[in-house]
Amino acid sequence: MKLRGVSDRGYKEPSIVPLVNIVFLLLIFFMLLGRITSPEVLDIQPPASASGGQIDTRRDILILISNDGRVALDDNEMEQDLLLSAVTQLLDEEPAMRVRIKADAGLDAVTLIRLMEHLKDAGVKRLLLLTERPEP
Amino acid sequence: MESQTYTQILAKASNNSIRHRRPLVSLTPLVDVVFILLVFFMLASSFSDQRAVGLMTPAIAESARTSKTVLLRVKRNGSLDLNGEPITVNQLQARAAQFIQTVGERQFLVQPDKGVALQRVVVVLDALYATGVQDISLVRK
């Protein structure tokens, strides 16, 4: 039985081709402009700054320090003492390695300075503080 | 049949194929995959523009502290003082430039009080870097 008005011939499904085009464009946009990063162990929102140089792709030691003072080396959260001895060891093996610190914007600056003092004792002379370019 | 011309046959054939048009390869699986890729890239990519500010570790600053260093304190309420003289962030650039020109001072020590958020310190560092100061260290009391 056929309903009146709904004939096989008259009904046309909307074409999905324009949709596919747009989805392709979005896909290319995200592929080209986004950087794939693995999620970090600590939730950190780095401070915004206008100055500071671009980060190069050199392999550095990355130290994370969160709002509540927890620290992590690369992707492993650990006690500060352990972290410092690990950094000392890494620097012994490869003295040219630089140290990057990614600290939360809301962190007490004195806590960060304390960590930097310990790092100095571990043999770090100059370090990089990661910041983010503010939204325009 | 014989009387039909070639064009007539063609027209009939194409008419036929329009009415029962079925794509050779279905588009739907392709679209599914593309959607999944899209979602993956949307979730996995980040657009933040990260930069790095170079700093000397504090203890070096401590030992190298001479009359040529300038001490900039960041107080808990957010106000600043440069060598004991209250100053705002806007004035800081001009004053820092003055220091560099007149006295030839190069090393700046930034000393935040306890409880000052890192963001506030970075704003101060920004202002100093904008003046062309290279040697900045963070110290604590």
Q: Is A125 on the interface with B (CB under 8 A)?
A: yes
- For residue B11, the model assigns a pLDDT of 62
Strands (DSSP E) found in chain B: 45-46, 50-56, 69-74, 80-82, 85-87, 107-112, 136-138
Q: Is A22 on the interface with B (CB under 8 A)?
A: no
A17 to A47, B27, B29: CA distances (angstroms):
44, 9, 13
Number of folded domains that form chain A: 1
To which residue do tokens 């995200």 refer? Answer: A30
Residue A70: how many CB atoms within 10 A of its CB?
17
Give the minimum alpha-carbon distance from A24 to chain B in angstroms, rounded to a whole number: 7
Q: Say if the Cβ atoms of B117 and A105 lie within 8 Å.
A: yes
Q: Is A122 on the interface with B (CB under 8 A)?
A: no
Q: Is residue A84 part of a domain?
A: yes
| Mean residue pLDDT across chain A | 80
SS3 (DSSP) at B77 = coil
Instruction: Give the closest of B49, B60, B114 to A132, CB-based.
Output: B49
Write the pLDDT tens digit of every residue in B87-98: 888 888 888 787
Q: Is residue A54 part of a domain?
A: no
User: What are φ and ψ of residue B74, in 5° steps?
Assistant: -110, 115
Interface of A with B in 1-20 (CB under 8 A): 9, 16-17, 19-20
Answer whether 0.95 is exceeded by the pTM: no
The CATH number of whichever domain residue A103 belongs to comes to: 3.30.420.270
pLDDT of B75 strictly over 80: yes
Most confident of A9-13, B8-12, B99-103: B99-103
pLDDT of B102 strictly over 60: yes
**Domain of A98?**
61-129
CA-closest candidate to residue B64, choices B108, B99, B117, B120: B108
| 0.90 surpassed by complex ipTM | no
Q: Is residue A1 part of a domain?
A: no
Q: Say if the Cβ atoms of A124 and B57 lie within 8 Å.
A: yes
Read off the pLDDT band of B104 (50, 70, 90): low
A122 vs A25: which has the higher pLDDT: A25
SS3 (DSSP) at B39 = helix
Q: Is residue A7 part of a domain?
A: no
Rounded to the nearest 10°, the torsion over CA A110, A114, A116, A118 is: 180
- For residue A57, the model assigns a pLDDT of 66
Q: What token pair was written down for A32? A: 């080209």
